[in-house]
Every structure is written in C-alpha cells, then in structure tokens.
Amino acid sequence: MINSPICSNSVLERDINNHLDSGCSEHKFILDSLRGPRLCPHTKDESTSKLAPIFSQSKPSDISNLPSEAAEEFALAPFKKRKIDISSPSQFPSSNPKRSNGLTSAVTAASAPLAERLRPRSLCEFVGQKHLTGPGSLLMDMLESGNLGSIIFWGPPGCGKTTLARLLATEANCTLKELSATSAGINDVRGVFEEAKGRLVMTGRKTILFLDEIHRFNKSQQDIFLPYIERGLIQMIGATTENPSFKLTGALISRCRVFVLERLTDEDMRGIVSGAMERVSHMDKELQGISSVEKQTSGSRGSVRDSVYKAGESSSGEHLYPSYPQLTNHIILSIISLSAGDARTALSLLELTLASKKDIEGEKLRASLAQSVSTSYDRTGESHYDMISALHKCVRGSQGSAAMYWLARMLTAGEDPVYIARRMVVCASEDIGLADNHGLPLAMATLHACQQLGMPECRINLAHLVAYLSEAPKSTRAYEAYSRAEEAAKLDPTLPVPMVMRNAPTMLMKELGYSKGYRYNPSYAHPVHNDYSPLPFRDKILKGAEDMSDKLWDEDALLEWERECNGGRPWSGRPANSS
C-alpha cells in the first residue's frame, strides 16, 4: 500500500498507474477503524474535490492572455511526452512548490563546485577572450544583429567555452538546451530538435543547443545536425578541445562559424581569482548577517575584469584576505602557475585553499596544491602531435637541450616510448641521412630496446638517441632525391625502360635488342656510361653533397642565429665577401 502523490489516498502499488490515469477516482482505499482498509466506492466528484487546485483547473482555451513562459509550455505540450515515474518524487508538486523549489535550488547551489557557483552572470563579468567579447568583434556584431547562427568554440579546457555559450543564449533571449556528447545520443538530440521546432512554430522563440565535447560524436552522428541547421530551426553552439578540421565533418564545419578561444593569460587568471575572492567575501558577509554589505562594497563595485589584483602592491607574507590568512600572494601565484590558463583548475585550487586550515604552512599548502593537479595529455589529441613535432624539429635544428625537454615532457606524461622511437627512426634517415650513416642503426637499436625493455629503463636509450641525432651532421639529400623522383614518376608513368637497361633472359629478347650494349661496370678499370634512365630526368634526381643550388640564403635569419645561438660570432661557413 502506498499513498497517491496527487490526492494522498491509499492505493495498492500495482494499481497506482491506473489510479493516476483515472484522475484519482478509482482504486482508492480508506481506513476503517472497524473493518480495516477497504476499497473506496467510485465517487468521482469527491475525488476531484480533494485534488490540489493545479489539477482541478481546466486548460485555458486562449493562450494570448497567459504569461510568456506559461504560453510557451502550453504550446509545447503536444511536442513533449508525458512520463510519470513514482520513484521520482520530484515529478509531483509538493504542498508548497515555491518553498520546495527554492530549497532544492539552494541545496544544489551549495553542493556545486566553486567554479560552477562563480560562473559569470553577464558578458561584462566574462574574463579573457577579448578578441571575441570586445567591442567591434565579429561575435559581438553577430549578437547585436540578432543573427548569431551556429558556432563551434574551439579551445583548451577551462577557457570559457561553456560559460560564453550560456551568456550568448541569455543575451540573445533564446531558450538554451545543453547536452554533452559524452553521454547523449542521437535520440536525445532529435528530441531537442523536435521541441525546438515546435517552440519556433508556436511561440516564435529560437532555441540554442549547446553540445559540449561535440568531437565525441562520430561523422554519421554529426550528420543529424545538417538539415535542422540549414533550415534555421535551431542554432547550435558546439564546444571542442580538438581541432575541428580533424574531428568534425566538412559539411558541418561549412554550416558553422569556428571561433578559437585562447588559453587564459596570467593577468586573466589573476582577475578570475581576485573576482572569485570578492564574491566569496561578499557571500561570507551575507552569511554573517552583515546588513551594510552594499555600503562596504560600493567602492569595489564593477566588472570582474577590472578587479585585477596587482602583485606588487603586497608583500608575500601579508594577509590579503583577513578571513583566509592562508591565501597569501605566493599562494595566489602558485595557483596561477599550476592552473596553466585553466580557469576551472584555478578555482578548484582556490576552493582547496579556502578549505585548508588557516594556520597551514605556505610550503606545505603549495606542495599539496601541486600534487592535486594532474598533467593533461591525450595520446590521440592535438598535444600528442604537437609535442612529437616539436621533438623532431628540435633534432633537425641541432637543438639538443630543447629536444631533450620535449622528450621528457612526453615520457613523463605517459607517451608510448615505442611511438617516439619510431619517429626517430624516420628522423635518422630524413634529416641525418647520408651525413652520418650510423644514425639509422642506432635508431633501430633504440626501437628494439624500447620494445624489449619498456619504461622506465628505455628512457635512457631514447635520451642517447635524441642526443646523438641532435649533434650529428645533417643531410636531406636522400629524402629530397626521392621526393623529386616521385614527382618525375608521376609526370609520365608511360616512359619505357631504355633497351640497354632491360633484362634479357631468353634468346628472343636478346634478338630484339634487350640489354644490347650494356657495359657491366665491375668489368672495367674506369667509369663507363650507360643509359640508366629516361633522357628528361637524367642526372636531375640525386644531387651532389656540395650542390647548394636549391638552398635559400636568408641574411636576416642568419644574423638572428648568430645573435641568439652563436654568441654574436659570425658563422664559420659565411662566405668571405658576405657582411
């Protein structure tokens, strides 16, 4: 036996759905002091009178006099499926809806992380990305014109993609629906689209779908957006940390505007921390019952981006915030450094700091904060390719120290050492090549060591290889020769092999002139000539070691190298007549 969430009468658990569908008129039980619980006779009028007012009201036939939000809900009723779950009490109204909603919101807000509680509430509070939110920017012009369209935000974690999408929806007066591609599927997206279509038809209000981690959708899933975006039934804002050129389909990119969000600067991070502490202090004063909060904070009112704290104005030991003496200038600098341009990480570190003991030692607190930050490295992400590219280019440029740094960055972040060794095998032939023929055997030996030993021992083998290749002389003759040969082969794949170069295993072939006139080089004490290749490409593929005809001479680049890398001394290979 359970109580009906609508009329509070006792109902058998198996009959609850039928009871609700009958408008609370059937399957009721009443408690009788003499006979115990018994089924109540069908009295529709009585059951109706016990319903809460909201269930006894008739539906309005004219929505023109309703408030905008009520009219929108009434208009969208046919597009939404009614779903009742007796295990979820939140679907039914409480005796005091306003009190219940307010309590729920308060509990939810109090349990949210500091980064979520302190999200900017307007564009004037948004910190960073001034190339997008500043006056005269393309994004702001689109917002002011009322033609926001569909957008892809591409940027690192914690740079403000989600916050900016929410603020744009608010400024554009659009209904915002949020989904994450990590948990949502095609059915969820299609449901939002159908609801948005109904809302646009019935109320004229546009809907913005914010899809976080949009790169998690495969290419067939991304195709569902195309017809709805083309017809203007919905505006989509997608957020991704991956390069859209690699992760999104060309058809979707062509229908959206891609905006790049940069990693936040140290000045931006300082402003975020300062603004967060301003709001935390304000909330603390409200909790303490201080009635003069507005008077005390009137001098510091303004946008968050104008409340940047200047480090030079306070010594490292001064308590910047008396209520939180552990938050010194050195701790703030550590938070900024550890967060690496990620506002979410910075606010999480700030929350840890505020929760720590007020008398904790600064060094101990800094060590605890450093241990709580994990290095972000995705083996399939863009940083994976960026770092291996940096390592290869440092080896090519004979910059051993820089190459060793990028090697350590990848290995400490968890990169597969075999992947690095394979790239160095390519580098040994591509960049060192004929200048040092020992580079390739060493690279192959290192690859074998990585496969047999693994980490952490094989890091020593990789360091040996990277140092050797960085200091080895460089030659790209073989690599460039093959590139020229490949280009020549594609120009005319029908050119015949010269007769003198052809094989003649049979008498018929010899009679036809195959291999006729071929001079077997080992039989001669001197060089001999043969027609080795088609005439148009003779002696134009592999160039001599001293041939510099296709090399650039950039005097400015040479002067910069002499200044930055050679201690201001002239390069030893500079021609005598060069200044």
pLDDT band at 103 (very low <50, low <70, confident <90, very high): very low
Dihedral sign from CA coordinates of 246, 248, 253, 259: negative
* pTM for this predicted structure: 0.56
Angle at 482 between CA 399 and CA 435, to 5 degrees: 40
Is residue 319's pLDDT more than 70? no
**Phi, psi (rounded to 5 degrees) for 157:** -60, 145
pLDDT digits (tens, 9 = 90+) for 510-530: 888 888 888 888 888 888 888
If residue 70 lies in a helix (H) or strand (E), which one and from where to where?
helix 68-76
More confident: 456 or 375: 456
Average pLDDT over residues 31-37: 45
Average pLDDT over residues 433-438: 92
Pair 43, 50: CB distance under 8 Å: no
Which of 532, 393, 515, 414 has its CA nearest to residue 466? Answer: 393
3-state helix, strand and coil shares in percent for the chain, rounded to the nearest 5 = 55, 5, 40
Pair 177, 210: CB distance under 8 Å: yes
What number of other Cβ atoms are within 10 A of residue 423's Cβ? 17
Average pLDDT over residues 163-177: 90
pLDDT band at 375 (very low <50, low <70, confident <90, very high): low
Average pLDDT over residues 80-95: 42
Which of 473, 496, 466 has its CA nearest to residue 402? Answer: 466
pLDDT digits (tens, 9 = 90+) for 116-154: 778 888 888 888 888 998 888 899 988 988 888 899 999
> How many DSSP H helices and E strands does the chain contain?
27, 9
pLDDT at res. 168: 92
Q: What's 55's DSSP letter?
A: H
User: How many angstroms separate the Cα of 48 from the Cα of each of 13, 65, 162, 360, 430?
Assistant: 21, 26, 46, 64, 85
Pair 415, 421: CB distance under 8 Å: no
Which of 499, 293, 473 has its CA nearest to residue 395? Answer: 473
Dihedral sign from CA coordinates of 243, 249, 250, 253: negative
Average pLDDT over residues 461-487: 91
1-5, 242-246, 399-403: least confidently modelled range = 1-5
If residue 3 lies in a helix (H) or strand (E), which one and from where to where?
strand 2-3
Q: Which residues in 219-269 belong to E strands, given as ranges?
A: 235-240, 257-260
Is residue 441's pLDDT more than 90? yes
Average pLDDT over residues 218-243: 88
pLDDT at res. 27: 67
Is residue 313's pLDDT more than 50? no
| Alpha helices (H) in 340-476, listed in sequence order | 343-355, 362-372, 382-396, 400-412, 417-427, 439-453, 458-471
Mean pLDDT of the chain: 77
Pair 71, 60: CB distance under 8 Å: no
